[in-house]
Every structure is written in structure tokens, then in C-alpha cells.
Amino acid sequence: MDINQIIKLYSLIIFIFCVFIILINLRWIIITLRKIADNRNPGGYFKLMQTWLIIIISAIFCIIAGHYIFFPGTVDKIDLILTVIVGWLGMIMGRFFGESAMESLLRNQKMEYLKIKEDGSKMINLSEKLLPLIDKKLSEK
């Protein structure tokens, strides 16, 4: 058995193992994706899109790596195109999920925090007004 056949065999075994692990954990994966994309999670859809882009880029990379494993020594135009596409997707993902996008998420979180803080202070003021009235009613009985 030569080294290429061994590499192909190991690649096939790793692929089958990964598919097996994914199938075993499919329920957990679906529950996690639902939690990420929940309406109460403001950055959830952003994270979901980021996850899918990472999966797509990884899949394209695996296809390119698999092509080089099964067809060693040949470089075709499609290989160069796929390599450039992976690079572009990485660049797009870096820009899309970069500093400006994260700043907008943080800004939204700060606005939610300020809203909750304001509602809490209103409730405290209301309770301070109601407590003497409640004490007065209780003392009258």
C-alpha cells in the first residue's frame, strides 16, 4: 500500500467519523441554532450568519484539500479559482464581522441596558411612593 492510498483511506475514515458525530449530535445542533437565532438574542442572527459563512469557507477548503490529496501534483485553473474564492470569502467575512459590525451590536446592547436601567429606576420611584401608603393602610387596621 503506497502513501497516497493510506492518505485517502485516513481521509475517508475521518470524513465518516465526522458525519457520524454530526448525526449523533444533530438534536443538540438544532437546539443550539434555535437558541442562537432567538428573537430575544439581538446578535443571534449575526452569529448564525457568521457560523454559516465559516462552514461554507471550511467546506470549500476541504474540497480543495481533498482534490490535492486525490490528484497530487496537478494544478488546474479551477484550483486557483477556488483558492481565490476562499480568500475572498475570508476577506468578506472579516469585513462583515469586523470592528464596525461589532460596535453596532455593542451600541444596541448599551441602549437596551439603559432602557432596562431607566425602567428599574421608575419602578423604584413608584415603590417608594407606594410603600408609605401601604404602611398607612396597614396601620389603620
4 within 8 A of 72, measured Cβ to Cβ: yes
2-29 average pLDDT score: 85
**What are the grid coordinates assigned to 10, written together?**
485516513
Task: For residues 126-136, give the mean pLDDT.
Answer: 82
Cβ-Cβ contacts under 8 Å for 51 (sequence gap 6 or more): 36
Mean pLDDT of all residues belonging to the chain = 78
Please report, for the chain, the start and end positions of each structural domain, with discontinuous segments joined by +. 3-140
Q: How far apart are CA 70 and CA 63, in angstroms?
A: 10
Mean pLDDT value across residues 26-49:
77
How far apart (Å, rounded) are the C-alpha atoms in residues 52 and 74? 30
The pLDDT assigned to 37 comes to 73
Q: Give residue-wise pLDDT tens across range 85-108.
A: 777 777 777 766 666 666 777 787
- pTM beyond 0.85, yes or no: no
pLDDT at 22: 84
